[in-house]
Chains A and B, each alone.
Chain A
Amino acid sequence: QKEVEQNSGPLSVPEGAIASLNCTYSDRGSQSFFWYRQYSGKSPELIMFIYSNGDKEDGRFTAQLNKASQYVSLLIRDSQPSDSATYLCAATGGSQGNLIFGKGTKLSVKP
């Protein structure tokens, strides 16, 4: 069974700090990795995706991928209370490349 694992949290950080969210995946064939943000009761929205080893930056967000360790992370710099949400990690899996989602990490940014 292909799996994506995330710490469920909650992860609590003070406003202005760096939040670090982690994810591991079981399928070595996974090629792309996605981070979605989901506010309570709302639909997931894409933050960014990554498919090459290393770092990818987009504003306050940095995704990091290490395929050898099967590890993906998301760093949020200068965290804001509006970043408080559940963050979903997803990996492509299977022959059709469907997305496999982790259960999400709940982030709370305290003012």
Chain B
Amino acid sequence: EAQVTQNPRYLITVTGKKLTVTCSQNMNHEYMSWYRQDPGLGLRQIYYSMNVEVTDKGDVPEGYKVSRKEKRNFPLILESPSPNQTSLYFCASSPYQGYDNEQFFGPGTRLTVL
């Protein structure tokens, strides 16, 4: 089944404890992206990657890191999480970054930072 998977789905952690949220897609997509979704603020892009080893900042990159060592994986790293990073996170992928491309979303990761 073609899909984007994220792990973990739910995470409660404490301030300053490094964490990684994994994202994997099995559709051989070139483009991958991370979003966070907060009430009243909508979906905001954190980082995106056009292809392996090519990543760039989105609108809200502060406090996050990403890497794209393999085409299928695009982990999101929070080196020192803070309470303002409590949010619902979505990973998405599309075949390429073009103007008619659907982005496929993962199931989401609900993160709480205490």
Contacts and interface: CB of A to CB of B under 8 A. Distances in A.
Chain A: interface secondary structure? loop
A43 B106 contact: yes
Given A43-B106, A44-B90, A98-B58, A51 B100 contact: yes
B74 interface: no
Contacts of A41: 108
A97 B41 CA distance: 21
Contact of A46 (B42, B45, B58, B102): B102
Chain A residues touching B, range: 20 to 34
B21 interface: no
A96 interface: yes
A40 B60 CA distance: 23
A25 interface: no
Interface in B73-112: 90, 97-100, 102-103, 105-108
Given A43-B90, A96-B56, A98-B97, A104 B102 contact: no
Contacts of B97: 96-98
B14 interface: no
A92 B90 contact: no
A46 B103 CA distance: 8
B25 interface: no
A45 B45 contact: no
Contacts of A92: 99
Contacts of A46: 102-103
A103 B40 contact: yes
Contact of A103 (B42, B45, B99): B42
Nearest to A50: B100
Q: Closest 10 interchain pairs by CB?
A: A103-B42, A43-B105, A101-B43, A32-B99, A31-B99, A46-B102, A44-B105, A101-B42, A43-B108, A97-B97
Interface of B: 33, 35, 40-45, 48, 50, 56, 58, 90, 97-100, 102-103, 105-108
9 contacts: A32-B100, A34-B103, A41-B108, A43-B108, A44-B43, A44-B90, A51-B100, A92-B99, A98-B33
